[in-house]
Structure 1
């Protein structure tokens, strides 16, 4: 295990990539007023054990890093892990490491569980781990620092396994056993031979170690082609159908516009006169605009690193995020179009369809399809503006976090 000098991060990254060596950083991230010698000692001991468990088996290098003083604000007694993740995403690029495990001693806020011990994000190659609940004295038991270190080591192994796309196992002594709480963590000490082989094969694919200082557009295009399977897998993990459920404000704003527009006679004039190709073009523009609006609201910033370096991992993260949001918009658009068409054929009598438009009667199926496309496009556009008010943590949790441990 070696300590890294931040000023040498760019050189180290280039040397690592050239030599085929992959670097795993374990970074302590102190919150102001929360740092302690005990915490640092536990992380150092756990990192040594983590290093011994993976270095020889995978041929990686583990480095202990320090990032001091993110001035984060707790909410409801806990800190948002995605704030740590956003800082870690930038630090991973600046420090020249391929995988980053952030360790903090403050409690992490959970979204679906009573508490969170760790959050791995395979898309960003960053995991956040908390030591807050690992000490037995937190639960009212006798102090045992050695037990806390063994539990932290297990969390580091478990999180790193997720970054290399390992799934859970039923073996309670395996590092990838499904974590239900702190009890039993200390027994999760090993990977199987099959898991180590899968991790060795996954390293070149998941590390995304390439970078470019010039020719960013060409580099980005080559990365999109080369890493298309990784981007598709990230989109599948995010699940655009689940993402729709995290945008209630967007859906409400879109439905309010849809209802008003649906009962407007002017929309029936549009349906009866505009060409289908024009509406198709408008729908494409609406979907693209909505995706850009939501991307700016929910994606992590910081495209270029120091020295205007564009990293492969940054391109993959941005592409997967944009594609997930685009597919989400397509789902919303399809639902709105279907609801509009259903409302037309069930609510409006033929006589009204003939007399309401001021240009031509809108009684043909094609007229109904065109009206549905137009109303759905307007709904998606209006909804994207309202969607910016949705919870950033909930949306980012779907996009970037694989699981809450």
Structure 2
């Protein structure tokens, strides 16, 4: 029986003829863990329907929808979406897919909402779907088996289209019948019927279907990926070639919200700020520094704290088995790096403005002149604010290093909780 159900899942979905290699798009499915018979049949139906829908909308591409069943991935419920996404990207790299959808029967852990049905990651070209809340038995215990299969299949298909839209940078729509509607419940998936931004998605797919950098003759040589110089050159070429996709991934992360999302970072930084503001020696030391020295120290500290967090949270980790170049992994790594730098820069700016405001409101010229043995001017206040913000950034980085790794990666790599 198990073999028969697996055969049902692994049957090839309808695809167009591969007439042009440059227009081939592969959307891999990774089934994570165990599924009951209803889920298996529903997923097989959803995969076929998604293939039919996508190939009808975009007939100019040769579509492939391979499937891999990872039975050993038996996550507890709720499961962190990022853990499944990172496991799925290994399959994506192995199969050289363009996108990957990982499906689980477990509930997804949500950090911003009461629950999540799915989660896209444009940086990883991957998305995760949970079938737990898609089953009508959650709402009606008397639902028949055929009704359950049909409803789950319909909802998985709609959710897969919605997530693929996110991976191709489609915005949300206000019409509940549009697949890019910002859904709130599983029932919202039942009303989705059309995709308004198909032309925009087709344009994005043409970029996806183009030959990736690692597929060119330059980077297909055996052993080249192990050379540090070659990897640096590859990374620079990816940055030049994919800067728009990198920026879109960074924008989806919203690094300017770091101080709100990482409470340990903000708490440590502003705790240091309070202590430093009440110390006369700090005022004297900070105001006596040349502005250019403070600016250079701030830039150096921003680079050092960003690198520290990237290493501490294992965002620059390489797998030992990774012997090939991967444009997708490189894009994700660059996007994560830029996001951390911008997030720390936002934290620095916030501390700088807070110090400047508090200093001007609460610390008079007469008080400061008694502490620092000088006649303070605006230049001195600005220099002092930069000096304290630099020290506060160091404290914030130490605080952020204690954030749970899985949560830190969730913030950096997952666009939204759908």
1:22 deviates by: 1.8
- Going from structure 1 to structure 2, the CA distance change for 1:280 and 1:170 (only over 3 Å counts) comes to closer
Indicate the residue corresponding to 2:182 in structure 1: 178
Indicate the residue corresponding to 2:170 in structure 1: 166
1:384 deviates by: 0.6
- Going from structure 1 to structure 2, the CA distance change for 1:396 and 1:286 (only over 3 Å counts) comes to same
Indicate the residue corresponding to 1:365 in structure 2: 378
Q: Deviations over 1:243-282 (max 9, x none)?
A: 3210111111111212222232332342354322222221
CA distance in 1, matches of 2:317, 2:55: 30
Q: Which piece of structure 1 moves more, 198-207 or 373-382?
A: 198-207
- Going from structure 1 to structure 2, the CA distance change for 1:136 and 1:71 (only over 3 Å counts) comes to closer
Could you tell me whether the CA contact under 8 Å between 1:55 and 1:61 is conserved in 2?
A: no
1:382 deviates by: 0.9
Indicate the residue corresponding to 2:108 in structure 1: 108
Indicate the residue corresponding to 1:375 in structure 2: 388
Secondary structure of the residue that 1:328 maps to in structure 2?
helix
Indicate the residue corresponding to 2:255 in structure 1: 240
Q: Are residue 22 (structure 1) and residue 21 (structure 2) matched?
A: no
Q: Are residue 328 (structure 1) and residue 329 (structure 2) matched?
A: no
Indicate the residue corresponding to 2:14 in structure 1: none
Q: Deviations over 1:77-133 (max 9, x none)?
A: x22222212222333222211100111111112233332211122222111001112
Q: Are residue 389 (structure 1) and residue 392 (structure 2) matched?
A: no
Q: Which piece of structure 1 moves more, 267-276 or 225-234?
A: 267-276
1:381 deviates by: 0.6
Q: Which piece of structure 1 moves more, 348-357 or 195-204?
A: 348-357
Indicate the residue corresponding to 2:15 in structure 1: none
CA distance in 1, matches of 2:70, 2:398: 36
Could you tell me whether the CA contact under 8 Å between 2:35 and 2:105 is conserved in 1?
A: yes
Tell me how large the CA RMSD over aligned residues is.
Answer: 2.9
Secondary structure of the residue that 1:285 maps to in structure 2?
helix
Indicate the residue corresponding to 2:5 in structure 1: none
1:296 deviates by: 3.1
1:67 deviates by: 2.0
Indicate the residue corresponding to 1:118 in structure 2: 118
CA distance in 1, matches of 2:287, 2:407: 41
The answer for unaligned runs of 5 or more in structure 1 is 5-14
Secondary structure of the residue that 1:178 maps to in structure 2?
coil
Could you tell me whether the CA contact under 8 Å between 2:105 and 2:131 is conserved in 1?
A: yes
CA distance in 2, matches of 1:23, 1:356: 67
Indicate the residue corresponding to 1:400 in structure 2: 413
* 1:336-351 alignment, distance < 5 Å: 336-351=351-366
Could you tell me whether the CA contact under 8 Å between 2:283 and 2:371 is conserved in 1?
A: yes
CA distance in 1, matches of 2:402, 2:36: 37
- Going from structure 1 to structure 2, the CA distance change for 1:284 and 1:362 (only over 3 Å counts) comes to farther
CA distance in 2, matches of 1:280, 1:64: 53
Q: Deviations over 1:218-244 (max 9, x none)?
A: 111111111112222222222223232
2:242 aligns with one of 222, 227, 239: 227
Indicate the residue corresponding to 1:201 in structure 2: 203
Indicate the residue corresponding to 1:46 in structure 2: 46
The answer for unaligned runs of 5 or more in structure 2 is 1-7, 12-17
Indicate the residue corresponding to 2:3 in structure 1: none
TM-score (norm 1): 0.85
- Going from structure 1 to structure 2, the CA distance change for 1:250 and 1:71 (only over 3 Å counts) comes to same
Could you tell me whether the CA contact under 8 Å between 2:258 and 2:347 is conserved in 1?
A: no
